[in-house]
């Protein structure tokens, strides 16, 4: 590890490890990667999601919390508490101002992604909530238990920025079993402790949640 520090949520951040020291197959010679390991969750991580601009990462855990991380530095920006069960799914709104979390307590919570304030708790679900996503206009939440109109306090304003990339745009990087892949070819083998319970991908970064409670991110540079 190149260095470590203690973050605002009481965990440790280890930054600067070269994933290429684990394994760098010969199929791609013109890439490099840098690893940030984020600790602070007390149980398995069940969901991770990047904001649309890639600047933040959210993670939901069996410890009943949601954490928001700075994707560039690995610093924990906030820990969101209030769920009474495992947090199964997290998702940012398209403009990054809201964060939704679905839980085994059969509720969905909508948070202010900047302040960590809980804006609304949506109840009445007949089962565990295993997936959440915002509609493109930010007026609805799409869950595995149904589509939920958002209260006025939780809606987002009109989107004034240019279109952000969607996960479907990120076809180059991916994760398949114990491998990080690039253009559908094995790029990097993951040791057992680094294998995902969940993952999220942007154009040049991958975030992985692990059963240990660890979250790790790696940025990749291709030339």
Q: What is the pLDDT of residue 22?
A: 38
Q: What is the pLDDT of residues 91-122, one digit of tens each?
A: 999 999 999 999 999 999 999 999 999 999 99
Question: What dotted CATH number matches 18-218?
Answer: 2.130.10.10
Q: What is the pLDDT of residues 38-72, one digit of tens each?
A: 989 999 999 999 999 999 999 999 999 999 999 98
- Give me the sign of the Cα torsion angle 133, 69, 88, 175: positive
Tokens in use for 110?
A: 């909508």
Rounded Cα distance between 110 and 120, Å, is 5
Q: What is the pLDDT of residues 68-86, one digit of tens each?
A: 999 988 899 999 999 999 9
pLDDT band at 34 (very low <50, low <70, confident <90, very high): low
Q: How many CB atoms lie within 10 A of CB 163?
A: 9
Contact 56, 50 (CB under 8 A): yes
CA nearest 76: which of 4, 7, 6?
A: 7
Tokens in use for 215?
A: 């979250």
- What's the pTM value of the predicted model, to 2 decimals? 0.78
Q: What is the pLDDT of residues 154-205, one digit of tens each?
A: 555 544 343 444 444 445 888 988 999 888 888 888 999 889 999 999 888 8
Helix, strand, coil % over all residues of the chain, rounded to 5: 5, 45, 50
């Amino acid at each position: 590890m190149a260095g470590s520090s203690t973050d605002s949520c009481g965990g440790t951040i280890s930054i600067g490890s070269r994933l290429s020291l684990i394994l760098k197959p010969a199929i791609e010679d013109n890439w490099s990667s840098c690893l940030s390991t984020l600790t602070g969750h007390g149980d398995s991580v069940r969901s991770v999601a990047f904001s649309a601009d890639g600047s933040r990462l959210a993670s939901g855990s069996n410890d009943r919390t949601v954490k928001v991380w700075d994707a560039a530095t690995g610093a924990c920006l906030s820990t969101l508490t209030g769920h009474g069960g495992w947090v199964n799914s997290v998702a940012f709104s398209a403009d990054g101002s809201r964060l939704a979390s679905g839980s085994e307590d059969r509720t969905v919570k909508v948070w202010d992604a900047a302040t960590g304030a809980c804006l609304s708790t949506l109840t009445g679900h007949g089962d565990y909530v295993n997936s959440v996503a915002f509609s493109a206009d930010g007026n609805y939440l799409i869950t595995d238990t149904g589509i939920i109109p958002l209260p006025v306090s939780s809606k987002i304003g009109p989107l004034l920025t240019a279109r952000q990339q969607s996960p479907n745009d990120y076809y180059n990087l991916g994760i398949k079993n114990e491998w990080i892949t690039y253009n559908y070819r094995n790029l990097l083998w993951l040791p057992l402790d680094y294998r995902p319970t969940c993952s999220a991908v942007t154009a040049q970064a991958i975030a992985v949640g692990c059963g240990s409670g660890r979250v790790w991110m790696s940025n990749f540079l291709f030339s």
